[in-house]
Amino acid sequence: MHRESEGPMIKAETAQETLTFESASTELISKGETLMRENSVKENRKYHTIEHPHTLERRAEEIAEIFGLSERKKTMVRSTITWHDTTIKFTPADPENIIATITRHRGAREGDDPAGAQGNEAVSARDMEREMRLINERVGSLIFSEEEIGTAMFMVEATYPEVKFGAPFKEYPYYTTIVEQNPGIHAVIEELEQEGINKGLLFSQPHLEKPLEEGNKIPAEAFVMVLDDLGGAGLAASEEFAMEGDKEFQELFVNISKPENLKRLSEGDAERDETDRQKAAGAMMGWLKSQTGFVAWQMLRIEKIVFLLRQNGQIDTAQEERLHAVFNRFIPNIYATLARARNTEKDYNVLKEDAGSKAAFGYLARAMHYEL
């Protein structure tokens, strides 16, 4: 009897090839990484580069231990992490508008906005499925079982984000339940309200959350990956989280990020340069200010998921405590993003008054990890 962590040894009569589950998974991961590198270079990505899955793999290790995943399932998580963002199709930004953004073709299933079952998550999942089945075909047996293929596809699909702009924190249906299980969160939300922040950008993952809300059990490995994917605000130190947010801004606001435009915004004296400089600075400061609301919403969302996992019998009290211990950066990052936005805006305004808009923009760009 083979151990689960080793997988079956399978020999194909036609190809005369022998693969273990581990060697097949290594091949699967390698192909995913190659595709990720090729696409990120071709599309000039700033955030969704090969470093993104590598970061998620590192963060997933501790979460996987909490859920008690076998070595085989941990390997499946690593494989799926590698493939989940290989395809990121998008509508290009209007080149005549300095603050125009790309529009990603998100979607895992019919009805997903905007691309449904032809969206990025769907294509990434199908590409991964095809590679898994090609390996099975080559070795002549199910080295990846049908259950594993189905779960892996679900994991990628579950990363599809549903977005709500300006969602009020206290109108969340689970808000009362959340603050009952964690009263400290209510104090933080109250403090944010005093700062004039009572809503924010809510990214949720409906293909994971809706089944949970209906009382359905979800494969444990799916939680490891999906919580990891949007959980950086609770997992990363403030400096790392700030860098990730800035890289996402650079990837979305492609016109600001173009080297020729950065140079023009930093040095140009034409009327258009000044106009675009003010627009770009406004978008950059708006992004920095939005991060506090984003973190607050992710804190509330993770609390809801933990509550539902406990209610559905998928974790016990000890696991719940360990999850809270791992996702322990939400409140520090709320205060860090709030202070960063406030201090950066203050310094930008002082510099603009004293040295002019070009110097102020250069400061702001460097503060957001642009290389000038």
Angstrom distance (rounded) from CA 154 to CA 313: 21
* 168, 288: one domain: yes
Give this prediction's pTM. Answer: 0.93
pLDDT at 17: 63
Residue 100 lies in a domain: yes
Domain co-membership, 95 together with 199: no
pLDDT category, 301, cuts 50, 70, 90? very high
pLDDT tens-digit series, residues 24-68: 999 999 999 999 999 999 999 999 999 999 999 999 999 999 999
Using an 8 Å Cβ cutoff, are 235 and 59 in contact? yes
Residue % of the chain over a pLDDT of 70: 95
Rounded distance between C-alpha atoms, residue 29 and residue 76, angstroms: 10
Closest CA to 79 of 123, 45, 30, 117: 30
Which residues, in sequence order, are CB contacts of 194 under 8 Å at separation 6+?
Answer: none
Where a domain ends, among 130, 160, 190?
Answer: 160
CA distance 140 to 133: 10
Give the tens place of pLDDT for each residue, 121-160.
Answer: 999 999 999 999 999 999 999 999 999 999 999 999 999 9
Alpha helices in 51-119 (DSSP H): 51-66, 71-83
Model confidence band, residue 212 (pLDDT cutoffs 50, 70, 90): very high
Query: Total domain count for the chain?
Result: 2
- Model confidence at 361, pLDDT cuts 50, 70, 90, reads very high
- Within a domain: residue 214? no
Mean pLDDT in residue range 347-356: 98
Boundary of a domain, candidates 126, 141, 160: 160
19 pLDDT higher than 80: yes
| Per-residue pLDDT reduced to its tens digit, 224-245 | 998 899 889 999 999 999 999 9
Place of tokens 């009805």: 111
What DSSP string describes 148-178? HHHHHHHHHHTTPPEEEEEEEGGGSTTHHHH
Whole-Å CA distances, 90 to 47, 97, 191, 204 = 15, 17, 38, 20
What is the model's pLDDT at position 366? 98
CA 192 – CA 78 distance, rounded (Å): 37
The parent domain of residue 243 ranges over 162-204+231-372
